[in-house]
Amino acid sequence: MKLLWLQKITCNGNAHSFLNYPNLTEWMEDFEWVYHPLLPSTYSLKEIQSDIKECDILMIEGAIDREDSLFLELFYRYANEAKYILTLGTCATFGGIFAQAKDSIKGLHFDKENRLDEFGKFWQKSISLPGCPLQPQVLAGVLNAIKEGISIPLDKMHRPKYYYAYTVHNGCTRNEYFEYKIDEHRFGELEGCMFYEHGCQGTYTHNSCNKILWNSVNSKTRAGQPCMGCSEPNFPDDDLWRTKKNMGIPAKLPTGVPKRAYLSLAGVAKAFKIDRFYHPLMEDESE
Amino acid sequence: MIDTSKKEQKRSLIINGALKLFATKGFYATTIPQIAKFIGMSSGNLYNYFSSKELLAQEILKYISAHLAKEIRKINDSSLSSQEKIKAIVKIYFNTAQSQPEMIDFFLRVYLSNREVFRKGCEGMICVNEFVTEIMIFFDEAVAKGELKNQDFFSAFGLFMGYLGGMVFLNGEEVLNKRLDEYIDDISTNIYNALKSD
């Protein structure tokens, strides 16, 4: 299976992240890099620019400037060839950080959450893989599925449901604090849920960070940092370490939860005073 | 087979009767036999519905909370501005205090005055949850629309509800110069001015 990895406006984060895929060496035996910016490839960038090489899967990393005719020409040539087009990371998918620089910079099929028609003829063969960066296991998993002919259910933004039907909240080790609405979190001192004060977007961010751990070890929320919603269309939001609230009520609620129901539930849950959650869990009870 | 609608009617009869007695005589001066006699029921039968006086008082609190919440929800669902909604909430509160004084009196003279009765079973805001939720929704939407100032919930809640409770209390003490409903305009304006965005 021949893979072509093209970069546009990017920090290289997705390319670097992929190098951390635990079984990269074995995995590469089944694929051929027509071109990859960091890994050994069959052709150089110059060669793929000068002539059309065969490719099965075209991967785009980075946001695309619509005024960059040189890149667009290259993209069209290979997009017409490829059986699948993968947008790697949030910039290629939704525009991300770089789209804030100028209006002509966007994701391939999206400008934040708005679907664009410019490359509409490629939409049916496109798969969106947002994340800042994209998790290596997600990319490897999708490529494996394509190679094996396994069907990949997609959501309406063409994200594979296997990975993006979940929220980052799913599997978060701080869920107990969320259940009982304990907004007592102190960085580095006390466990707790970061949804209430510290801007955690895990409850409405579609990704598998707490199911597939980063480097098989950890995730942001497990390590005590709020989820910044890096795989969401509107990433990056501003004021990432502070929860936006209206009169103390979180302005954005967990995906699909109606405000009235949430507030009723929160009112009941807050009535419990569960002592063990107000002290560091590692603290000796006799102290 | 038990007729649930009949059971529900009896329950409602007890709640309404007990509410009147609690609100006028106070929690401790009211006994279960008095409540039973007031509604024409035996004490033994009343205990089939509520196993203790404390439990009955807690159910009354939930009943009042749900009643006010239902009215405020209609205002929340309307297209009124936040300023108009404040006036509508004040109106409901004062009208209830005038037409069903026992409801607000129970709140002020039983719930707030006999906290020990509610400590076990009404922890935090469990028993007034429906009412508080509607006030939260009102505030949340008003701030999101930029009509009220963003601040701590309880700062705003205390200003709003403390003010209304205080006026109803003064009305009960018969020290006000005017009828309660004649204060609706001024008080609504004061609340709006205190909470509006800069």
A180 shares a domain with A141: no
Tell me how close the Cα of A183 comes to any Cα of chain B, in angstroms. Answer: 14
The whole-angstrom distance between B166's CA and the closest CA on chain A is: 23
Whether residue B131 is contained in a domain is answered as yes
- Mean pLDDT, chain A, integer: 93
* Residues A77 and A177 both lie in one domain: no
CATH number at residue A237: 4.10.480.10
> Which residue range is the domain that position B65 belongs to?
54-195
Contact A271 B156 (CB under 8 A): no
Residue B60 phi/psi, 5-degree rounding, is -65, -40
pLDDT at A182: 81
| All residues at 6 or more sequence positions from A214 whose CB lies less than 8 Å from its CB, including other chains | A135
Q: Counting beta carbons within 10 angstroms of the beta carbon of residue A272, is it exposed (0 to 12), middle (13 to 18) or buried (19 or more)?
A: middle
How are strands ordered across the β-sheet holding A57-61? A32-35, A2-7, A57-61, A84-88, A126-129
Q: Which residues of A touch B146 (CB under 8 A)?
A: none
ipTM of this complex prediction, to 2 decimal places: 0.79
Q: Does A260 touch chain B (CB under 8 A)?
A: yes
Instruction: Determine phi and psi for A250, rounding to 5 degrees.
Output: -50, 130
| A8 and A139 assigned to the same domain | yes
Residue A206 maps to a domain: yes
d(CA A145, CA B82): 53
Confidence of residue B68 (pLDDT cuts 50, 70, 90): very high
Number of domains present in the structure of chain B? 1
B132, B140, B144 ranked by CB distance to A267: nearest = B132
Final residue of a domain: which of A151, A180, A210? A151
pLDDT exceeding 70 applies to what percent of chain A?
99
Clarify whether residues A20 and A58 are in a common domain: yes
Looking at the domain assignment, is residue A134 inside a domain?
Answer: yes
- For residue A29, give both structure tokens: 């035996």
pLDDT given for residue B10 in this prediction: 92
Confidence (pLDDT) at A122: 98
Whether A159 is covered by a domain: the verdict is no
Residue B56 vs residue B112, higher pLDDT: B56
Q: Give pLDDT tens digits for A197-230.
A: 999 999 999 999 999 999 889 999 999 899 999 9
Per-residue pLDDT tens for A33-64?
Answer: 999 999 999 999 999 999 888 999 999 999 99
Closest CA to A250 of B198, B191, B153, B195: B153
Q: Confirm whether A156 is domain-assigned.
A: no
pLDDT for B5 equals: 84
Question: What pTM was computed for the model?
Answer: 0.86
Confidence of residue A286 (pLDDT cuts 50, 70, 90): low
Residue A261 lies in a domain: yes
| A247 close to B (CB below 8 A) | yes
Q: Is B156 on the interface with A (CB under 8 A)?
A: yes
Among A229, A267, A119, A272, smallest CA distance to B129 is for A267
CATH number for the domain that contains residue B173: 1.10.357.10
**pLDDT, tens digit, for every residue of A10-33?**
999 999 999 999 989 999 999 999
**What gap in Å lies between CA B46 and CA A114, rounded to an integer?**
62
Q: Which residue of B has its CA nearest to A269?
A: B126
**Whether residue A108 is found in the same domain as residue A198:** no
For A158-174, what is the mean pLDDT? Answer: 96
- The per-residue pLDDT for A31 is 96
B125 part of a folded domain: yes
List alpha helices for chain B, DSSP H: 4-25, 32-38, 43-49, 53-76, 82-99, 101-105, 115-118, 129-144, 153-172, 184-195
Q: What is the average pLDDT across B171-195?
A: 95
Question: Domain holding A132: CATH number?
Answer: 3.40.50.700
Q: Are residues A227 and A258 in the same domain?
A: yes
The answer to whether the CB atoms of A247 and B148 lie below 8 A apart is: yes
Residue A282 located in a structural domain: no
Q: Give which of B77, B85, B136, B150 to mutate to test A binding, by max A Cβ within 10 Å.
A: B136
Instruction: Compute the half-sphere exposure of residue A159: CA atoms within 13 Å on the CB side of its CA.
Output: 28
In a domain, B86, yes or no: yes
The stretch A260-275 carries a mean pLDDT of 86
* Same-domain status, A117 and A217: no
Helix (H) or strand (E) holding A139: helix A136-148
Helix residue spans in A6-134 (DSSP H): 13-18, 24-28, 45-50, 69-81, 89-94
pLDDT tier for residue A190 given thresholds of 50, 70 and 90: confident
Least confident span in A144-158, A258-272, B133-147 = A258-272
- B22 located within any domain: no
Tell whether the model's pLDDT for residue B168 goes beyond 70. Answer: yes
A142 and A55 in a single domain? The answer is: yes
Better-predicted residue by pLDDT, A180 or A166: A166
The pLDDT, as a whole number, for residue A18 is 96
Residue with tokens 């807050």: A270
Q: Is residue B71 part of a domain?
A: yes
> Domain range for residue A182?
166-273
Task: Summarize the confidence of residues A74-103 as an average pLDDT.
Answer: 97
pLDDT (0 to 100) of residue B2: 57
**Do residues A40 and A76 both lie within one domain?**
yes
**Is residue B94, in this structure, part of any structural domain at all?**
yes
For B153, which of A249, A259, A273 is closest by C-beta distance?
A: A249
Beta-strand relationship, A2-7 and A64-65: unpaired
Q: What percent of chain A has pLDDT over 90?
A: 82
First to last CA, chain A: 61
Number of domains observed in the structure of chain A: 2
Q: Is residue A65 part of a domain?
A: yes
Q: Is the pLDDT of residue B184 over 90?
A: yes
Determine, yes or no, domain membership for A211. Answer: yes
One domain for residues A87 and A214:
no
What integer is the mean pLDDT of B134-148? 96
Question: SS3 for B126?
Answer: helix
Q: How confident is the model at residue B1 (pLDDT cuts 50, 70, 90)?
A: low
- Please report, to the nearest 10 degrees, the dihedral formed by the alpha carbons of residues A176, A179, A180, A181 taken in order: 110
Instruction: Compute the Cα dihedral for A137, A143, A147, A149 and give only its sign.
Output: positive
Predicted local distance difference test score (pLDDT) of residue A127:
98
* B57 pLDDT higher than 80: yes
3-class SS shares of chain A: helix, strand, coil, % to 5: 30, 15, 50
Candidates B50, B155, B146, B63; CA nearest to B107 is B63
Averaged pLDDT, A239-254:
93
Given A151, A186, A206, the domain boundary residue is: A151
| pLDDT score of A285 | 61
A131 and A179 in one domain?
no
Q: Where are the strands (E) in chain A, listed by range?
A: 2-7, 32-35, 57-61, 64-65, 84-88, 105-106, 110-111, 114-115, 126-129, 245-246, 249-250
Element (H, E) at A163: helix A161-164
User: Residue A195 in contact with residue A188, Cβ under 8 Å?
Assistant: no
What is the per-residue pLDDT for A64? 98
Judge: A260–B137 Cβ closer than 8 Å, yes or no.
yes
Domain endpoint, select from A121, A151, A181: A151
Structure confidence at residue A186 (pLDDT)? 79
Using the Cβ of B151 and the Cβ atoms of chain A, whether some distance falls under 8 Å is answered with: yes
Domain identity same for A63 and A147: yes
Q: For residue range A114-159, what is the model confidence (pLDDT) as tens digits? A: 999 999 999 999 999 999 999 999 999 999 999 999 999 999 999 9
The reply to whether B147 falls in a domain is yes
Report pLDDT for B98: 92
Looking at the domain assignment, is residue B75 inside a domain? Answer: yes
Copy the structure tokens of residue A80: 């017409």
CB contact under 8 A, B144 and A248: no
